[in-house]
Structures are given as structure tokens and as C-alpha cells.
Chains A and B, each alone.
Chain A
């Protein structure tokens, strides 16, 4: 029975998910993506007013505000 369960994808997917959650620094991921979306590498400012609703959504969802940026970037 155990062998049958171990031979299924679900165990492997769970292992991969655990590996990903352990290896990846998700907080840093959010900060990096925030930097990218804010476009600070394009225009040198902590704002990007020209890239549409997707970026604003991201800021809203992840709470990336001016204060957040000042503290983390």
C-alpha cells in the first residue's frame, strides 16, 4: 500500500512544493517584482505611471507603497 502511494505523482509534487517553499525567498521575490513593476530601473523614480492597471494591481495586492520601498529597497 505504502509503495503504491509512494509511486504516485502526488508525493513527488508535494516534495517539489516543499522544496520550492524552502529554497525560494518569496519575500525577496515580491520586493524584486515590485522594483521591476515600479520601473525604477527605467526612469530612476519610485513610480511608473504609464504601465497600466496590472502594475497598480500588484501594488495593491502586495502593499508595495512608498514606505515599503523606502524600507526595503
Chain B
């Protein structure tokens, strides 16, 4: 983690994309501009990722604050990620404490999550954090609210819902929540009925708070809605969703048909958990996972052992709830290898909007950790009693039962046999690291000692402490021993992973930039030998981070304007590149429908006839002094939301040369302005950020005062 925080190892894959978007956004915000347009890539396109990269979350505002404190963007971004991750781990501690009613178990859950693949994979898949962290807190507040219908818990629930809506496509969380609802209602029908009735009464009693919460959710959804309105206009297309694996004709038809959703084949062709998950790699060769892979998914081996040890425990509703959720989510995430996703795709509309089903897979990590530790809690509860803090919140697991000697021997025999079976199971996998075997050995020894009851009077470890501390000591020591057994293997794996990542050493663009209008686009892309770019396309991310122009080509980006994509599909790449390398081209007035090959006068730099007065990502202002009327063509993509002004007065903005912006300018001295005004404008983003801050403070205030 140290090497990531200090920037020695760059963020990779989708986290690289999100860093690019975050850097672009906050760099512009610190320049005084909320970016709505990206003029540097794909010949100009809407700043598409604004609604899905967690930019409005109060925690994300750490990035500009750290930048102002003198830390560069790349380091600030990784610090923000790490902080957000620990917020998720803390949330998981509270959630586990609510579920298991045991602080020691909650602590184990906290460190278990911290050293799971969720922590390491954030450097390649930040989207996991964007979805999992608020989801963990959502379920915590949901459980708290079910038990204590306070305004504070309701406010916390509302705030986490707002973060979920504003941080990433909410359909992933909705899927997990629907899985939970489905299983919960099936198992806890009476509790579900009671919850609904209580919720109804709460909403009636605190109707002002309820309306305020609804308003907050609507405002936080505004960036997503604004983008959907833009999408519905037809000016924006998404080739990246349709062109990756299809024929050229299918790619064109589906992209221009503006199908925001994807076909079943497009979704399941790649990006599923099925292609990333293999039993072998849950146990073997984990130390060899490369940083260029986003298939890192592992849990501490002791969690699996605990599930194995739980064979003869009493079956409870919580076990069924957690394991059923894990099973259903896993099957959905696996795509076409099971029939479940196909069934849901046919019957529920939002399943057509998934692009990467494997994102759902990381919800499995906290669920299975919770399930495993619940089994540990039940295992310990059949053992001998251990003195605890005398408070039920501490050590529910250790209350135990008094056992006869023969019962203890029987349990110890069972523990050893089940460990032996798990040893035998692991032997079937290649490359199981030594540390996994050691973990299992320690587990067998520790549980045998635990069930033997020799720790009961604390004489082993606590003979010199005061009477009060003696009472607490066994509890803390056993929690510590179990923490060591839990963490031994994942710590070793993460160390190996970090060592593997060092070969990617590279520095991403991270300095603050004030964008400058360049009259000519480069013809060749920037190149890098860094290994991270063997796995992701280099250009788009680099240019977004450095705010410099990409070469004039389109390809199949996640977003492009409709006419620019169309133009690139039927125009030879070299003709488009030769034409669009010049940002400004002048034509005699009236030749607005000139093909790209028509003779225009490309402008390669400022002159007394034409110069730039102001430029930011949303606006270009020019000063013109032509001897005769001219058609000024700005080779940046046209959409209906671009406006043109001549001497401060709005004039007609023409779509010229198929995809670009043009304006007729009379002879003489004039001021020209092109500016971008999409639905909602900048206010929608400012409002979303503000309302999230307000609800965060409101929720903290209400929770602190226990209202």
C-alpha cells in the first residue's frame, strides 16, 4: 500500500480510467470550471463519466483539498481511495457487530475485509469500492433502523442511498438489494411484515424528514438524470458498448440505433465472473497473480476452513440468508454459465444495462467473510465458557457451554478430522502456498486448545495482571489468536502481489494543468513502455489526465457524439486525420456543406485575423478581424447543446462538415464564442455535491445526538 500511496506503482485498468476522470474533473474545478465537455479526446465529446465516478461524494473532495495542500493528483487520488476503503472496513465492523452482536467477531470481520482481495483490487477496479462501501453502510443503517427507528438511522440510510445513486450505475446495488429482499422475505416473513408496518408509521410520524430524504435522493440522482436526458437526445452514442466483439455492420447499426442497453451476447461475451473465477485460484498460485489482471478474488483460507468446520453446526436462518445471497449473486455474476442471468435479462429491464457482471462478484467478499465468522461464532459457542467484559456486546461468541470431558474430546476429535479433510481437499490444487498449510495447522491446534478448556482460568497468559484484567484477558487473547490465524495467509499473498506490481513502476500525469487551446492536433499518439498499457488503451486516459489533444481519430470509445462517430465510420482514417488535425478551418461564406476534401483555409496558429481570447473545456472565445465574410468551422464535435454567440448575441450554430461546429462571421472585428450548455448545466453537479455534504452532516448530527 505504501508503494501505491507514494505513487511508485500506478493505478491500473479501470482505476486508471477513474483516476483520469477524477483528475480531469478536479483539475478543472480548481481552475474555476465544472467540466461538462472533453475537447481533447474523440474530437470532442461530453464528459461522460461525470455521473459514475463518485465525484460528488464528500470523501472524494479529499482529492482537491490534498492538491491544495501541495500533494499531486495521483498521490491524492490513491490516498482518497485508501481512506474510502478504510471507511468501508469500519462500516463492515459496525455491520458485523450488529449482525453477530460481538465486538471481537466484528474486529475479525474488519481485518478480514481489510486483507481480502477487496483491498488489493481497488488499485485495478475502483468500481468495487464505489459500490461496496456505501452498500455496506446502507445495510448497517438498514439493520439499525429495523431495530431502532430513530431519525439518525433513517438519515444514515438516506445518505448512503444518495451516495449509491450518485456514485455508480445503481443497478449493481439494486441487484444485491433485491437478492437480499428476496431471501429475507422468504426466511423472515413476520419480521419483514413488522418492518414494513413500522416504516409506514415512521414515515407518517416524521413526514418532514421523509420528504427531505426523498428530495435529497432526487437531487443526488440529478447528474445521472441529466446524462440520461443528454443520451435520450440522440446526440451521444456509445460505440464502446456495442463494437468490441461485433461485426462492423452490427457495431454501426447498434451504436447509431442508440441502444443504451446491451444484447445478452454482448454482456455475457466478456466481463463475467465465470471467466475470472476458478476453484484452483481460490487456493493456489495466489502469489503469482499479476497486477495487470483484474481477476484477483480471494478470501483468507481460514474462512473456507471455518465453512468446512461448520458442517455439523445447527442450521440457522442467518446461515441460509448469507449463503443464499452469495449463491444468487455469484450465479448472476457468472453470466451465461448458469441460466439465472439469462432469465433475469429477459424479465427485468435493467439487466440489459450491465457491462461488467463481475463487479457483482466483489459483494461476495464481505458476505462470505460474515458467513465464515458467523460459523466461527457458533463453533465457539459450543465450547467452554470464557470470561468476557461482562457486556453482551463483547464476547457473545465466548459465552459457551459447560461441557463434559467426553464431549470435549469428541469435539476435539471432530475438529482434527475436519481439518484433515480440508488438508486432503487442498492437496488437489497446484501451487497452494506453505502459509495456507501453516494456517490450517494453527487453526487445528488453536481450536483443540480452545475446546480443551485449559485456557479457562487464564493461567497460561494472564497470571500477572490484576483481577479485573484477568477476566478480560482470555477473551482478548483468543480474539488476537484468531486474528493471526485469519490474517497469516492474506498478508503473505498481498505482500507477493505488491512485489509483482513493482514491475509496473511508472508515473502517471499528475501535475495541475491550465488547459491551453492548441490550433493543431498531433498526428501520432503519445507512447509509453509501461506495462499497464499492455492491458488498457493508452491514449484516452493519458490525454484526459494531461489535458492535451489526442490525435484526430475516433475508434470505439465509451462515448462519442453521434455525427463524429458516423463520420469516422465512412471516412478513411487518413482523410479524417488530415482534415481534423486543424482545429479551425475557414471557408468562404456559403460553403457550409463542403466535404472534408473541399478547399478550406486551415488555421495553424494565431494571427491578426483570428486569435483566442479565452479557452476552457466548455468554452472557446475567439477574436476575428476578417477582410471578408467567412465561415468559421471549429473542428470540435457538434451537439445541439453547443451554443454560438457573435459579439455577445446568440446566433445560429451550424453543423458543418457533417460533425463539427460552424458559424458565419461578417467582415470586420467581431467576438466569437462557442459554449456548451447541456441539460442541467453546471448547477446539477454543484447541487449534487452540496446536498451530499448537507445530508452527511445532518446524518452525523442526528446520530451523534442519538435522535
User: Which positions in A face B, CB cutoff 8 Å?
Assistant: 7-13, 16, 19-20, 23-26, 28-30, 32-33, 35-36, 41-42, 50-54, 57-58, 61
Contacts and interface: CB of A to CB of B under 8 A. Distances in A.
A7 B337 CA distance: 31
B311 interface: yes
Contacts of A52: 288, 290, 500
B337 A25 contact: yes
Contacts of B338: 23-25
B285 A57 contact: yes
Interface of B: 244-245, 270, 272, 274-278, 280-281, 285, 288-290, 292-293, 295, 307, 310-315, 319-320, 323, 327, 331, 334-340, 375, 430-431, 500, 531, 534-535
B337 A28 contact: yes
Contacts of B323: 12, 16
A50 B293 CA distance: 11
Given A33-B274, A33-B275, A54-B281, A11 B336 contact: no
Contact of A58 (B280, B319, B336, B531): B280
A36 B292 CA distance: 13
A10 B337 contact: no
Contacts of B288: 52-54, 57
10 contacts: A9-B311, A16-B323, A16-B327, A24-B337, A26-B337, A29-B277, A29-B334, A29-B337, A32-B275, A51-B290
A41 B534 CA distance: 12
Given A32-B336, A33-B276, A52-B500, 19 more contacts: A7-B315, A8-B314, A9-B313, A9-B315, A16-B323, A23-B339, A23-B340, A28-B274, A28-B336, A28-B337, A32-B274, A33-B275, A36-B270, A36-B276, A42-B534, A42-B535, A51-B292, A52-B288, A57-B431
B395 to A, nearest CB: 23
Contacts of B244: 41
A23 B312 contact: no
Contact of A54 (B289, B307, B535): B289
B257 to A, nearest CB: 23
A8 B315 contact: yes
Contacts of B281: 54
A36 B245 CA distance: 13
Nearest to B295: A36
A30 B531 CA distance: 27
B480 to A, nearest CB: 27
Given A28-B274, A50-B534, A8 B313 contact: yes
- The winner among B275, B276, B315, B336 for most chain A CB atoms within 10 A is B275
Main secondary structure of the interface of A (DSSP, over half): helix
A71 B20 CA distance: 40
Given A24-B331, A41-B244, A9 B319 contact: yes
A41 B535 contact: no
A72 to B, nearest CB: 13
Nearest to A22: B338
B369 to A, nearest CB: 17
A61 B310 CA distance: 31
Contact of B311 (A8, A29, A36): A8
Contacts, number: 98
Contact of B285 (A19, A50, A54): A54
B337 A51 contact: no
Contacts of B289: 54
Nearest to A30: B278
B275 A10 contact: no
Contact of B275 (A7, A35, A54): A35
Given A16-B327, A24-B331, A24-B334, A33 B278 contact: yes
Contact of B293 (A23, A24, A51): A51
B430 A61 contact: yes
B615 to A, nearest CB: 36
A9 B374 CA distance: 13
A24 B375 CA distance: 26
B535 A8 contact: no
B336 A10 contact: no
A23 B275 contact: no
B331 A23 contact: yes
B288 to A, nearest CB: 5
A61 B331 CA distance: 24
A19 B319 CA distance: 17
B272 A32 contact: yes
A46 to B, nearest CB: 15
Contacts of B311: 8-10, 13
A10 B312 contact: yes
A17 to B, nearest CB: 10
A57 B336 CA distance: 24
Nearest to A12: B315
Nearest to B309: A9
Given A8-B313, A24-B331, A24-B334, A41 B270 contact: yes
Contacts of A11: 315
Contacts of B375: 9
A50 B531 CA distance: 9
Contacts of A33: 274-278
Contacts of B290: 51-52, 54
Nearest to B531: A50
Contacts of B277: 29, 33
A10 B339 CA distance: 26
A20 B323 CA distance: 12
A58 to B, nearest CB: 7
B40 to A, nearest CB: 24
B327 A20 contact: yes
A30 B275 CA distance: 7
B556 to A, nearest CB: 13
A57 B327 contact: no
A68 B295 CA distance: 22
B533 to A, nearest CB: 11
A54 B297 CA distance: 14
Nearest to A52: B290
A13 B322 CA distance: 12
B270 A58 contact: no
Nearest to B334: A24
Contacts of B337: 24-26, 28-29, 32
A11 B311 CA distance: 8
A46 B531 CA distance: 20
B356 to A, nearest CB: 12
Given A24-B337, A28-B336, A12 B331 contact: no
Nearest to B340: A23
B209 to A, nearest CB: 41
Contacts of B335: 32
A23 B334 CA distance: 11
B338 to A, nearest CB: 5
A57 B432 CA distance: 13
A50 B503 CA distance: 12
A48 B213 CA distance: 51
Contacts of A51: 290, 292-293
